[in-house]
Structure 1
Amino acid sequence: MSKKSLPTTQKQGKARLGDQIRSIADRLKQETDVQIQATSRILGAAAQIAENHDRLINEVVDIVESDLNAEKQVNQKHIYTVDILKQQFKTLRDAKVHFNLKVTSWESLANKLNTASCQTTIIQNKPQSNQGLADTNVINSEYNFNNIEKLTVFLEPDVAEMFPNSEAVNEALRFLIRVTSKNR
């Protein structure tokens, strides 16, 4: 049998089958195009997220470095010399009373103050009255700085809102340490 001798119904059936296959192929192509576009958008969004992440990390590093530099400048202001102490206080007795230290000379006072300021951070914000501290800038010479296992710090209210407990504060500080250590 030749092609010409096929009945008309068979020709129409093959034509419909061919149309259905073309239709399915067209839909698959359209779906593939949609998937390619979606994948392209997803990859673009992922690239943008990565770029934003890098930018934010850089901003955090800049902020931390700025804070560390500011802290370093503040700490440098707390370096005491005999001349500075003599300018601030009329007598050694006045200085000893102010710092609540027992020393025998201006030199030993300066040494104790500088040693203490290197080993601990002086809390600059006044504590709440129920904490019973008269002056947060007083450094007690009888306190053994080598035995510090835990350090109590006072967070300002806006900072405390962000950290529900000490574990959250420590984790944030560890993150900052990691970030700054990687960028040195």
Structure 2
Amino acid sequence: MNKKSLSTTQKQGKARLGDQIRSIADRLKQETDVQITATSRILGAAAQIAENHDQLINEVVDMVESDLNVEKQVSQKHIYTIDFLKQQFKTLRDAKAHFNLKVSSWESLANKLNAASCQTTIIQNNPQSNQDFVETNIINGEYNFHNIEKLTVFLEPDVAQMFPNSEAVNEALRFLIRVTSKNG
């Protein structure tokens, strides 16, 4: 081969190599652009999630504050004090007769009335199964699905540990109802 044909071959090889390098550079630039676009979308989505999260937190805080205010108002209405009872009734005997309770002091009367209004009965140790409870009450004729004023529910021990009384259970369920109805 002569020098002229060798240099032409080298020039063609260099041209092909240059084209390949340019092609690779173009692909890298396109991939970089795709990555930048994807990153931008991810960051936008993360910002939207953060905004939605903050909004949800604010809604939950508002609901809890509202519930606490309502609960405070309700609990203030139903708290019996010895002084209040003495103002309402001339004697302990009159108060006992009015509420149909057997107590030996004003203090025990107030405690029983407050305990009854709180409805804090949660049975944790060996609760009767719901099926047994329903069957027993149906047999005794006490169970009426259409006229339920109070429903006794037995909590499993792990759940009962989280709820100190029936008020806490009711508040949690009301909160769940509101959240699911807003999102539903």
CA RMSD between the two structures? 4.4
Question: What fraction of aligned residue pairs are identical, expressed as a percent?
Answer: 67
Give 2:57's aligned amino acid: I
The separation in 2 between residues aligned to 1:79 and 1:151, in whole angstroms, is 19
Alpha-carbon contact 1:103-1:109 (below 8 Å) kept:
yes
The Cα of 1:152 is off from its aligned counterpart by 6.6
Which structure 1 residue ranges, 5 or more long, are not aligned? 137-148, 163-184
Which structure 2 residue ranges, 5 or more long, are not aligned? 121-133, 144-148, 151-160, 177-184
Alpha-carbon contact 1:92-1:105 (below 8 Å) kept:
no
The one of 90, 94, 101 equivalent to 2:97 is 94
The separation in 2 between residues aligned to 1:59 and 1:44, in whole angstroms, is 22
Q: Deviations over 1:40-71 (max 9, x none)?
A: 11122112212211221221121111111111
- Closer, same or farther in 2 for the Cα pair 1:108/1:16, shift >3 Å? closer
Q: What secondary structure, in the 3-state scheme, does the structure 2 residue paired with 1:46 have?
A: helix
How many pairs align? 135
TM-score normalized by the length of structure 1: 0.54
- Closer, same or farther in 2 for the Cα pair 1:121/1:108, shift >3 Å? closer
Aligned to 2:137: 130
The separation in 1 between residues aligned to 2:107 and 2:88, in whole angstroms, is 10
Aligned to 2:39: 39
The separation in 2 between residues aligned to 1:24 and 1:64, in whole angstroms, is 59
The Cα of 1:106 is off from its aligned counterpart by 5.8
Aligned to 1:179: none
* 1:65 has 2:65 as partner: yes
The separation in 1 between residues aligned to 2:28 and 2:60, in whole angstroms, is 47
Aligned to 2:10: 10
